[in-house]
Amino acid sequence: MKKFINKPDDFVRESLEGLAAAHPDLVKVHYDPTFVYRADAPVNGKVAIISGGGSGHEPMHTGFVGMGMLDAACPGEVFTSPTPDQMLEAAKKVDGGAGILYIVKNYSGDIMNFEMATELARTDGIRVLSILIDDDVAVKDSLYTQGRRGVGTTVLAEKICGAAAQQGYDLQRLADLCRRVNLNGRSMGIALTSCTVPAKGTPTFELGHDEMEIGIGIHGEPGRQRLSVKSADEMTEMLALSMIEDSPYSRTMREWDENQGEWVDVELIDPLLEQGDKLLAFVNSMGGTPISELYIVYRKLAEICEKKGLQIVRNLIGPYITSLDMQGCSITLLKLDDEMIQLWDAPVKTTSLRWGV
């Protein structure tokens, strides 16, 4: 393994120290428990948004802390969800009195840790709602699995909800918006190489010189299928069609009922993509794929969407939700409404996503 790290055990900590050193105007880092928070937190009267998850997906989430996006991010060890005390302490630090929205990716570890954090926050008198992101269409059924994974839509939900919080949405309205973004988002990814987890030191899986994994998540786990590599156009088509032709996905999700103070099951179904829909197209590098290749993917994606009568009205292209040094790419298609468009365009000032200010 060749990486710019010192000891594998110090990877997360030292990377955060670098982040803090580089951007003291934007973020601060608290250690033990570890979380990154807006330098100007708490913002009085604003709902605070907290996300988190395993490290190794940078810039998500730590790079998205700042005005118009996250109030705090809780990084776990590499690919390991953070612990409830991190989330609880972060909530205490950034709570501006209007409550906290946890944006959680649908992994058993993340869910269980955030559930515990939600319960703990409540006993500490902090209002918390929690929304799960599960947008990865590679996972087909929800009955026999943990359900879809949370991937690219997470970034978009954080941006859109971050803008809404900044504009004064209250906690319930924000949670509803976040759920809506999730239901309208779909993702699918391909790996050309495995990533290498620093503590392990060798690639998580081995891919032959002409093989690719399709339907991967973001944790270096193998995908659903191993195929021989194809052209950029063919790979793009596989990804795009798996989303565009995705049949309605229904699942039961647990959400926190503030009034009853307990977890309740809610039935959720994705709206289908239809001709004339406006989309945000997000072409994402898994970390090791350069932007020049992402544009080749985008080129074909735009062509396919046009053919299908889908209108790409916004896009995001770059490495935003990664798997360490993995070569590969994922596409996220988010069906937009006018409210989401306005919120997407709103100013954002974080270390890794910035415009309008």
Ligand X SMILES: Nc1ncnc2c1ncn2[C@@H]1O[C@H](COP(=O)(O)OP(=O)(O)O)[C@@H](O)[C@H]1O
The CA distance from 274 to 272, in Å, is: 6
Whether the CB-CB separation of 356 and 317 falls below 8 Å is answered with no
- Quick one: which of 117, 177, 118, 190 has its CA closest to 151? 190
- The stretch near Mg ion (CB under 5 A) out of 76-84, 98-106, 256-264, 335-343 is 76-84
Q: Which does 59 bind (CB under 5 to 8 A by kind): its own copies, ligand X, Mg ion, none?
A: its own copies
Nearest 5°: phi and psi at 130? -140, 125
Q: Which does 138 bind (CB under 5 to 8 A by kind): Mg ion, ligand X, another protein, none?
A: another protein
Phi-psi region of 96 (alpha: psi -120 to 50; beta: other; left: phi over 0): alpha
Whether the CB-CB separation of 162 and 353 falls below 8 Å is answered with no
Near Mg ion by CB under 5 A: residue from 34, 51, 80, 332: 80
Question: In the complex with its own copies, which residue's Cβ is closer, 112 or 241?
Answer: 241
The pair of structure tokens assigned to 67 is 């005005």
Q: Among residue numbers 31 through 90, which ones bind ligand X (CB under 6 A)?
A: 80-81
Residue 274, C-beta contacts closer than 8 angstroms, at least 6 positions apart? none
Q: Is 23 an active-site residue?
A: no
Query: Shortest Cβ distance from residue 108 to another protein (Å)?
Result: 4
The CA distance from 216 to 138, in Å, is: 7
* 222 part of the interface to ligand X, by CB under 6 A: no
What is the distance in angstroms between the CA of the first residue and the CA of the last residue of the chain?
39
- The stretch near its own copies (CB under 8 A) out of 5-13, 40-48, 171-179, 264-272 is 5-13
Q: Which does 324 bind (CB under 5 to 8 A by kind): Mg ion, ligand X, its own copies, none?
A: its own copies
Q: Which does 298 bind (CB under 5 to 8 A by kind): Mg ion, its own copies, another protein, none?
A: its own copies
* 169 part of the interface to Mg ion, by CB under 5 A: no
CA 45 distance to own-chain centroid = 25
- Quick one: which of 18, 37, 13 has its CA closest to 350? 37
Question: In the complex with another protein, which residue's Cβ is closer, 2 or 307?
Answer: 2
Question: In the complex with another protein, which residue's Cβ is closer, 140 or 308?
Answer: 140
Query: Shortest Cβ distance from residue 279 to Mg ion (Å)?
Result: 32
Residue 59 preceded by cis peptide, ω within 30: yes
Near its own copies by CB under 8 A: residue from 183, 268, 317, 341: 317
- Quick one: which of 350, 338, 302 has its CA closest to 155? 350
Residue ranges that bind another protein, judged by CB under 8 A: 33, 54, 76-85, 107-109, 112-113, 115-116, 138-140, 144-146, 149, 197, 199-200, 204-205, 217, 219-222, 224
Residue 347 preceded by cis peptide, ω within 30: no
The pair of structure tokens assigned to 171 is 């906690």
Place of tokens 């949670």: 175
Q: Which helix (H) or strand (E) holds 17?
A: helix 11-22
- Quick one: which of 239, 268, 98 has its CA closest to 178? 268
Near its own copies by CB under 8 A: residue from 302, 308, 341, 342: 302
Q: For the chain, how many residues are written?
A: 357
The count of residues interacting with ligand X (CB under 6 A) is 4
CA 138 distance to own-chain centroid = 16
Question: In the complex with its own copies, which residue's Cβ is closer, 234 or 257?
Answer: 234
* 167 part of the interface to ligand X, by CB under 6 A: no
Question: In the complex with its own copies, which residue's Cβ is closer, 2 or 307?
Answer: 2
Residues forming the site for Mg ion (CB under 5 A): 79-80
Residues forming the site for ligand X (CB under 6 A): 80-81, 108-109
Query: Which residues are the active-site residues?
Result: 57, 219
Residues forming the site for its own copies (CB under 8 A): 2-7, 11, 14-19, 21-22, 55-56, 58-59, 63, 192-193, 209-210, 212, 229, 231-233, 235-236, 287-299, 302, 315, 317-319, 322, 324-325, 327, 329, 352, 354-357
